[in-house]
Amino acid sequence: MEKDEEQKRIEGDIEGLTSDCKRLEGLNALITGGSQGIGRRIALEFANEGADVAINDLSSQKEKANLVAQYIEGELGRDTWIAEGDVSDLDDMKKVREQVEENFGTIDILINNAGINRDSLFFKMEKEDWDKVLSVNLDGVFNTTKAFLDHVRESDQGRIINMSSVIGESGNIGQANYASSKAGMIGFTKALAREVVRDDVTVNAVAPGFVATRMVEDIPEKVKEKIIAQIPFGRFAEPREVARTVCFLASNDASYITGEVIRMNGGYYM
């Protein structure tokens, strides 16, 4: 039942893929949190643009990751590898790197996408809610980048793209932890961009507004309407729109862009 639902979603994604050229041909990408939502859409868009794609996610997501991998190989004809591991654990990510090296290849494009939220008003927020979100969203970026930086440096088109959020710039009620982690990613992006420029690696971030993923779908209808009323576009972003922006940054077209945060929020925050 669950699987049918996932399959439908993936097939919907594949139906909507567009490309005017194989812009990522010959490149290997790793996408953390790539088994669902925005990460999955990026994985599929990348494969469609000609990249081979390694999907990282937790072992609990294995079934979903398998399904994405199946479509990348079967429908889109690209190589793939499921790199099981927890981004919040540096040792785990080092192991992931070894596995990826052995079974898939070296990574040209790293997409730090894995993220979680544990929303509650600050006066109710426990230290644990803070630690958990920061360790996945921000430490996860450190750990994954640390583990794979040597790969990206060796590439002729090295790219690190961090999936931040409009919440990291605008803040939001009930998201002190999430907002801090996403703002932290922007600082990380700008600082690392300056360091690795000598290796011809660009480091950029994408800061989407509210995107129509399951995370947002699960919000109660009334609250959703309230959010939409605050978005000048009057709708949520589609995962497609996020993934296309990531594709642009990953491509050779974006070779002079580094340390940049591309906002895509339907006018929600300018």
Partner 1 sequence: MTEEKMEKKLHNKRALVTGASRGIGKEIANTLARHGADVVVNYNTSHEDASEIATSVELAGKETWVYPADIRSFQEVEEMKKSIEDNFGTIDILVNNAGINIDKFFTKMEKNDWETVLSVNLDGVFNCSKVFLDDLREAEGGRIINISSVVGQRGNLGQVNYASSKAGMIGFTKALARELVRDEVTVNAVAPGFIATDMVMNIPEKVQESIKKKIPMGRFGETKEVAEAVAFLASPSASYITGEVLKVNGGFYI
Residue of 20, 128, 217, 218 interacting with partner 1 (CB under 8 A): 20
Question: Does 26 engage in binding with partner 1 (CB under 8 A)?
Answer: no
Question: Does 241 engage in binding with partner 1 (CB under 8 A)?
Answer: yes
Catalytic residues, by residue number, are: 178
Question: Does 247 engage in binding with partner 1 (CB under 8 A)?
Answer: yes
Closest separation in Å from C-beta 43 to partner 1: 15
CA distance to 45, 97, 115, 209, 235, per residue, from 265 (Å) = 20, 33, 18, 4, 10
Q: What angle do CA 126, 128, 133 make, to 5 degrees?
A: 110
Closest separation in Å from C-beta 183 to partner 1: 15
Question: Does 266 engage in binding with partner 1 (CB under 8 A)?
Answer: yes
Residue with tokens 């990826």: 100
Give just the sign of the alpha carbon dihedral 174, 38, 96, 204. negative
Residue of 134, 215, 219, 262 interacting with partner 1 (CB under 8 A): 262
Residue of 17, 215, 219, 228 interacting with partner 1 (CB under 8 A): 17
Question: Does 76 engage in binding with partner 1 (CB under 8 A)?
Answer: yes
The residues that bridge with 163 in the sheet, in sequence order, are 206
Do the beta carbons of residue 82 and residue 58 sit within 8 Å?
no
Residue of 197, 225, 226, 230 interacting with partner 1 (CB under 8 A): 197
The residues that bridge with 81 in the sheet, in sequence order, are 54
Which 125-164 residues touch partner 1, going by CB under 8 A? none
Euclidean distance between CA atoms 145 and 97, whole angstroms: 11
Residue of 7, 59, 120, 255 interacting with partner 1 (CB under 8 A): 255
